[in-house]
Amino acid sequence: MTAENIPRATAKRLPIYYRYLNILHDTGKQRISSTELAEAVQVDSATIRRDFSYFGALGKRGYGYDVDNLLSFFKTILNQEHLTNVALIGVGNLGHALLNFNFHKDGNVRISAAFDTDDKIVNTIEDGVPVYPIEELSHQLHDQQIKVIILTVPSKVAQSIADDAVAGGVKGVLNFTPIRLQVPEDVLVQNVDLTNELQTLIYFIENFGK
């Protein structure tokens, strides 16, 4: 089965499986059942078995899954051996937090360039990452062959910034703004609405947590 045929919900769970398999590997555990994995990652075992079935026979009935083999498989599927450089657009409070964290500490993603309009930080190095003027966005993305951006800009400029990024060759946007961006069909957008997530959490606490 090709990647295009993998359900989006399954694809979003793959990094969760991979992260926990790394933990198991570090503890020396050699095999795990779908039931054990379900308890650890809080995904029911039937869903795990269905997710894994899209990739063929990854386990054996009565044995479970070999941790090292499964880890190696997901490392390849998730392209963990290849470092992906991404750009951060908007170095405000959230942007600074993301720069301070930077993803290369926990995986195969690294913020290698940032963009902003603030003269105080433009053309400086923030947390080891060069900050460029927003006017240079398109050509810097193109020159550095950056295909993924993290967008943490004010809502009123989100669409125009996204347009410039697409012009620079971007194919993926992690969007922290509440704006639903209009992009070409070959550009993927992952929306992260912190306010919406918090409101949803509060709703569930108030209605189902008692």
Q: Known binding site: residues?
A: 90-95
Least Cα distance to 151 among 94, 198, 195, 101 occurs for 94
Instruction: Answer yes or no: are the C-beta atoms of 172 and 190 closer than 8 Å.
Output: yes
- Among 86, 79, 77, 53, which residue's Cα sits nearest to residue 165? 86
- What distances in angstroms separate CA 121 from CA 96, 115, 117, 127, one per listed residue? 11, 9, 8, 11
Q: Is 146 exposed, middle or buried (CB count within 10 Å of its CB: 0-12, 13-18, 19+)?
A: buried
CA angle in degrees (0–180, nearest 5) for 178-163-191: 30
Question: Which residue matches tokens 């347009």?
Answer: 163
CA-nearest of 173, 30, 1 to 89 is 173
The binding site for NAD(+) comprises 90-95
What whole-number distance in Å separates Cα of residue 34 and Cα of residue 85? 34
Tokens of 12: 């979003």
